[in-house]
Amino acid sequence: MDRAIALEMLNSYVTTPHIIRHSYAVEAVMRALAARLEPDQLELWGLAGLLHDLDNDLVDWRSDLSLHGPKTVAILQEKGLGNEALYHAILAHNPANGSKIETAFDRAIYAADPITGFINAITLVYPDKKIRSVKVKSIIKRMDEVRFAAGANREAMRSIERLGIPFPDFAELSLKAMSDIADILEL
Ligand SMILES: [Fe+2]
């Protein structure tokens, strides 16, 4: 599967604009993580970012979170798109579906998913609401303010350290990746 097909899938299955923007953000962070950890997997890691929330509009995840992930995998399998590593990473971003984090790929998306929303929330508290105003040190500081963006899973974001990436590096790499596509993210 190439990126053009993944984008076509994203735009046909997901109609919620903020989920589409979020998918681009996770793609950008996943590509940056792959560049550091598994450069030969850069395209695949990017695809996982783009596609991980593909079933957002199709399953009632608010009432049963375990449905989120397996439906995306079923769609991709039915279309003959992707491979086992991709499916496993897509499942692993949502442990509520019973999946386990087994690979660096799984861990990367588990951590990349929440940090995009977290950086988004931090950006929006700045007077100009521009990502270029955000500093790495404010991301680090906000991690300890548990009531700020309470839905952003701190444990998941911090778990990037298990891949040998210190959290401040992860914050910096994610901020840079998202800043590079600020126009797409409307930030
Ligand atoms: Fe997500």
What digits encode the pLDDT tens for the residues 106-129? Answer: 999 999 999 999 999 999 999 999
- Compute the distance from residue 113 Cα to the ligand 1 centre, in Å: 5
- Compute the distance from residue 72 Cα to the ligand 1 centre, in Å: 12
- Compute the distance from residue 163 Cα to the ligand 1 centre, in Å: 20
Q: Alpha carbon of 173 to those of 11, 86, 95, 170: distances in Å?
A: 26, 22, 24, 5
User: pTM to 2 decimals?
Assistant: 0.96
Give how many domains the chain has, as a whole number. Answer: 1
Query: Confidence band (pLDDT; 50, 70, 90) for 61?
Result: confident
Share of the chain above pLDDT 70, in %: 100
The range of the structural domain enclosing residue 75 comes to 3-185
Three-point CA angle 4, 93, 112, nearest 5°: 75
Q: Alpha carbon of 27 to those of 11, 12, 117, 145: distances in Å?
A: 14, 17, 13, 26
- Compute the distance from residue 135 Cα to the ligand 1 centre, in Å: 23
Query: Confidence band (pLDDT; 50, 70, 90) for 62?
Result: confident
- Look up the CATH number of the domain holding residue 103: 1.10.3210
- Compute the distance from residue 120 Cα to the ligand 1 centre, in Å: 13
Cα separation, 157 vs 144, in Å, equals 12
